[in-house]
């Protein structure tokens, strides 16, 4: 936390700081991302996905490994965390 305190001290003095400490982004989320999140909330699409990740996404990852590395990985063996 010493780094975060120093970053805050410098920012308070007007020094431009790009904080990469503690996962603190220096910029807000892009407008399109915020709009998509707002729409998902309005549509009631909130909740958990499959614990291992979306099946289609895991299938796409398996395809990427096949195409780029020549590896045959079953999507069921892929966990997206």
* Cα–Cα dist 46/37, whole Å: 10
Mean pLDDT of successive 10-residue stretches along the chain, which has 81 residues: 85 88 76 95 88 96 98 97 86
pLDDT at residue number 62 = 98
* Cα–Cα dist 48/33, whole Å: 18
* Cα–Cα dist 25/17, whole Å: 11
pLDDT at residue number 21 = 65
Domain ranges of the chain: 1-46, 48-81
pLDDT at residue number 3 = 82
Q: Is the pTM of this model over 0.85?
A: no
């Amino acid at each position: 936390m010493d780094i975060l305190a120093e970053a805050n001290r410098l920012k308070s003095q007007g020094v431009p700081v790009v904080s990469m400490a503690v996962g603190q982004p220096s910029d807000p989320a892009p407008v399109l991302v915020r709009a998509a999140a707002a729409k998902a909330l309005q549509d009631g699409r909130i909740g958990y996905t499959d614990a291992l990740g979306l099946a289609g996404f895991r299938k796409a990852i398996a395809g990427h490994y096949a195409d780029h590395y020549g590896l045959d990985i079953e999507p069921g063996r892929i966990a997206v965390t």
